[in-house]
Structure 1
Amino acid sequence: MSLRVPDHCTPSAVLARAAAAAPEAFDGLNPRNLIDGQWEAVGEPAPQITPVDGSTFSQLPKIDGESATRAVQAAARAHRTWAQTTFEHRQTAVSVAVESMSQVRDDLALLLAWEIGKPWKLACADVDRCLDGVRWYLDNAEHMLSVDVEDAPYKRQALPGPVSNIASWNYPMSVLVHAELVQLLAGNAVIAKTPTQGGAVTLTVAHALMARAGLPATLVSGDGSRLSDPLVRSPEIGAVAFVGGRSNGGKIAAQLVDTGKRHMLEQEGLNTWGLWEFSDWEGFAAHLRKGFEYGKQRCTAYPRFVVQRKLVDQFLAAYLPVVQSVRFGHPLAVTDGAELPALDFGPLISAAKATELEGRVAEALRHGAVPLYHGKREDGQFLDGQDISAYAAPVTLLAPPGASRLMHEEPFGPVDTIVVVDTEAELLAQMNASNGALVASIASDDAAFATQLAEHVQAFKVGVNKPRSRGDREEPFGGRGASWKGAFVGGQHLVHAVTQGPPGEQLYGNFPGYHRYPVT
Structure 2
Amino acid sequence: MTPTLILKPGTAWSDAWQRCLAVAPEAFRDDRVLTLWNAGWRPDGRVLPAVSPVDGSPVAGPPRLDGTTAHRAVRAALDQHRAWRHVPLPERRARVTATLDALTEHRRLLALLLVWEIGKPWRLAQADVDRAIDGVRWYVDGIEPMIDGRAPLDGPVSNIASWNYPMSVLVHALLVQALAGNAVVAKTPTDGGVACLTLASALAAREGLPVTLLSGSGSDLSKALVRAPEIGCVSFVGGRDTGAAVATAVADLGKRHVLEQEGLNTWGIWNFSDFDALAALVPQLFDYGKQRCTAYPRFVVQRDLFDALLAAYLPAVRTLRVGHPLAVEQPDDPLPEPDLGPLINAAKAKELRDQVAEAIERGAVPLHRGDPAEARFLPGQDTSAYVQPVTLLHPPPSSPLHHAEPFGPVDTVVLVDTEAELLAAMNASNGALVATLSTDDRATYDRLAPHIRAFKVGHGTPRSRGDRDELFGGLGASWRGAFVGGELLVRAVTRGPAGERPPGNFPEYRLLP
User: TM-score range with shorter-chain normalisation?
Assistant: over 0.9
Q: Which residue of 1 aligns with 2:494?
A: 499
1:50 aligns with 2:42: no
Q: Which residue of 1 aligns with 2:185?
A: 191
Match of 2:482 among 477, 483, 487: 487
Task: Report the alpha carbon displacement of residue 233 of structure 1 after superposing the two structures with TM.
Answer: 0.3
Q: Which residue of 2 aligns with 1:22?
A: 24
| AA matched with 1:518 | R
Comparing 373-382 with 310-319, greater Cα deviation is found at 373-382
State the distance in 2 between where 1:58 and 1:489 align.
Answer: 32
Contact 1:169-1:195 within 8 A present in 2 as well: yes
SS in 1 for 2:294: coil
Task: Report the alpha carbon displacement of residue 220 of structure 1 after superposing the two structures with TM.
Answer: 0.7
1:180 aligns with 2:174: yes
State the distance in 2 between where 1:118 and 1:518 align.
Answer: 31
1:430-467 CA-to-partner distances (Å, cap 9, x unmatched) read: 00000000000001111231132111100000000100
Contact 2:272-2:440 within 8 A present in 1 as well: yes
Q: How does 1:119-138 map to 2 (within 5 A)?
A: 119-138=121-140
State the distance in 1 between where 2:233 and 2:397 align.
Answer: 38
Match of 1:466 among 426, 444, 461: 461
Q: How does 1:143-222 map to 2 (within 5 A)?
A: 143-146=145-148, 155-222=149-216
| AA matched with 1:48 | A
1:318-356 CA-to-partner distances (Å, cap 9, x unmatched) read: 110111110111111111021111111200000000011
State the distance in 2 between where 1:251 and 1:49 align.
Answer: 28
Q: Which residue of 1 aligns with 2:324?
A: 330
1:381-435 CA-to-partner distances (Å, cap 9, x unmatched) read: 1000000000000000001111111100000000000000111111100000000
Contact 2:159-2:187 within 8 A present in 1 as well: yes
Match of 2:259 among 255, 265, 290: 265
Task: Report the alpha carbon displacement of residue 81 of structure 1 after superposing the two structures with TM.
Answer: 0.5
Q: Which residue of 1 aligns with 2:110?
A: 108
State the distance in 2 between where 1:37 and 1:73 align.
Answer: 12
Task: Report the alpha carbon displacement of residue 55 of structure 1 after superposing the two structures with TM.
Answer: 1.2
State the distance in 1 between where 2:90 and 2:305 align.
Answer: 57
Q: How does 1:345-384 map to 2 (within 5 A)?
A: 345-384=340-379
SS in 2 for 1:258: helix
SS in 1 for 2:62: strand
State the distance in 2 between where 1:369 and 1:508 align.
Answer: 42
Q: Which residue of 1 aligns with 2:389?
A: 394
Q: Which residue of 2 aligns with 1:283?
A: 277
State the distance in 1 between where 2:496 and 2:372 align.
Answer: 53
Q: How does 1:58-73 map to 2 (within 5 A)?
A: 58-73=60-75
Task: Report the alpha carbon displacement of residue 518 of structure 1 after superposing the two structures with TM.
Answer: 2.7
1:282-335 CA-to-partner distances (Å, cap 9, x unmatched) read: 211121110111000000000000011111111111110111110111111111
| AA matched with 1:303 | P
Comparing 437-446 with 359-368, greater Cα deviation is found at 359-368
State the distance in 2 between where 1:378 and 1:70 align.
Answer: 52
Contact 2:456-2:510 within 8 A present in 1 as well: no
SS in 1 for 2:55: coil
State the distance in 2 between where 1:329 and 1:229 align.
Answer: 41
State the distance in 1 between where 2:147 and 2:373 align.
Answer: 53
Task: Report the alpha carbon displacement of residue 160 of structure 1 after superposing the two structures with TM.
Answer: 0.6
State the distance in 2 between where 1:415 and 1:463 align.
Answer: 21
1:138-174 CA-to-partner distances (Å, cap 9, x unmatched) read: 011211112xxxxxxxx20001100000000000000
Q: Which residue of 2 aligns with 1:13?
A: 15
Contact 2:289-2:408 within 8 A present in 1 as well: yes
Contact 1:16-1:29 within 8 A present in 2 as well: no
1:238 aligns with 2:238: no
RMSD, aligned α-carbons: 1.0
SS in 2 for 1:504: coil
Task: Report the alpha carbon displacement of residue 371 of structure 1 after superposing the two structures with TM.
Answer: 0.6
SS in 1 for 2:342: coil
Contact 2:432-2:453 within 8 A present in 1 as well: yes
1:478-510 CA-to-partner distances (Å, cap 9, x unmatched) read: 100100111000000100000000011111112
Task: Report the alpha carbon displacement of residue 256 of structure 1 after superposing the two structures with TM.
Answer: 1.4
Gaps of 5+ in 1: 147-154
State the distance in 2 between where 1:451 and 1:393 align.
Answer: 37
Contact 1:509-1:516 within 8 A present in 2 as well: no
1:49-107 CA-to-partner distances (Å, cap 9, x unmatched) read: 11001111113211110110011000000000001111111100100000000000001
SS in 2 for 1:509: coil
Task: Report the alpha carbon displacement of residue 516 of structure 1 after superposing the two structures with TM.
Answer: 5.3
State the distance in 1 between where 2:4 and 2:178 align.
Answer: 47
Task: Report the alpha carbon displacement of residue 273 of structure 1 after superposing the two structures with TM.
Answer: 0.2
State the distance in 2 between where 1:5 and 1:389 align.
Answer: 18
Q: CA 1:246–1:377 in structure 2 vs 1: closer, same or farther (change >3 Å)?
A: farther
1:414 aligns with 2:409: yes
State the distance in 2 between where 1:234 and 1:516 align.
Answer: 32
State the distance in 2 between where 1:479 and 1:70 align.
Answer: 34
1:250 aligns with 2:252: no
| AA matched with 1:75 | A
SS in 2 for 1:473: coil
Task: Report the alpha carbon displacement of residue 378 of structure 1 after superposing the two structures with TM.
Answer: 4.2
1:435 aligns with 2:430: yes
State the distance in 1 between where 2:502 and 2:443 align.
Answer: 31
SS in 2 for 1:385: coil
| AA matched with 1:9 | T
Q: Which residue of 2 aligns with 1:151?
A: none
Task: Report the alpha carbon displacement of residue 257 of structure 1 after superposing the two structures with TM.
Answer: 2.1
Task: Report the alpha carbon displacement of residue 515 of structure 1 after superposing the two structures with TM.
Answer: 6.2
Contact 1:172-1:203 within 8 A present in 2 as well: yes
SS in 1 for 2:437: strand
1:355-397 CA-to-partner distances (Å, cap 9, x unmatched) read: 1101111221122111111224443210000000000000000
Q: Which residue of 2 aligns with 1:518?
A: 510
Q: Which residue of 1 aligns with 2:90?
A: 88
Contact 1:472-1:490 within 8 A present in 2 as well: yes
The alignment's TM-score, normalised by the length of structure 2, stands at 0.98
State the distance in 2 between where 1:225 and 1:376 align.
Answer: 40
Aligned-residue sequence identity (percent) comes to: 59
Q: Which residue of 2 aligns with 1:118?
A: 120
State the distance in 1 between where 2:255 and 2:402 align.
Answer: 34
Contact 1:377-1:391 within 8 A present in 2 as well: no
The alignment's TM-score, normalised by the length of structure 1, stands at 0.97
Gaps of 5+ in 2: none
